[in-house]
A = this chain, B = another copy of it.
Amino acid sequence: MSSRKTASDFSTPAFRQHDHGECARSLMDAAHDLCAKRGLRLTPVREKVLELLLKSHAPLGAYAILSELASAGFRAQPPVAYRALDFLVENGLAHRIEKINAFVACSQPRKEHSPIFMICNDCHQVAETSVKPQSSSLDRTARAIGFNIQHTVVEAQGLCAQCRERML
């Protein structure tokens, strides 16, 4: 058994320590695979934005991304960032965190999933986890009232275990 970890080993980083560089690398590989498989074009600016998200330990706002794009020599008008982000979000490679108007790389880009986010108000990191859609409270409630769900936003703000501990 090799010690090499796959992306799915990191599917729920959830504030835990992990080899961030390797995590980012394997998720970037996964993104290339996924785009190849689906005939999508991971163009330079799209790849750069995904790379920025993967490198970041916290969600990035569109304008933060924009200024990093500028530093990297890309054009830096708002639509540049928003278009790349739209592409990544539409294709499940990134998610938008509504509560903080920011974006994170998806930690499990392969599967269909209804992601849920835990946003730490202290360290500002975000953990993505997910839930089997059928078992979510949202889904049960929707079924009860005949509501047909197309998209969900499930986010919690609070304190992660590490930060709480650090505060003692």
CB-based contact B145/A15 at 8 Å = yes
A12 to chain B, nearest CB (A): 8
- The count of identical subunits is 2
A83 to chain B, nearest CB (A): 20
CB-based contact A161/B137 at 8 Å = no
CB-based contact A154/B154 at 8 Å = yes
Query: Which residue, A120, A141, A158, has most C-beta atoms of chain B within 10 A?
Result: A141
In the complex, chain B residues whose CB is within 8 Å of the CB of A159: 147-148, 150
The CA of A149 and the CA of B116, in the complex, are separated in Å by 13
Q: Which residue of B lies closest to A153 (CB)?
A: B155
CB-based contact A154/B129 at 8 Å = no
Interface residues of A in 103-150 (CB under 8 A from B): 116, 118, 120-121, 127, 129, 131, 135-138, 141-142, 145-150
Residues of chain A whose beta carbon lies under 8 Å from any beta carbon of chain B: 12, 14-15, 98-99, 116, 118, 120-121, 127, 129, 131, 135-138, 141-142, 145-161, 164
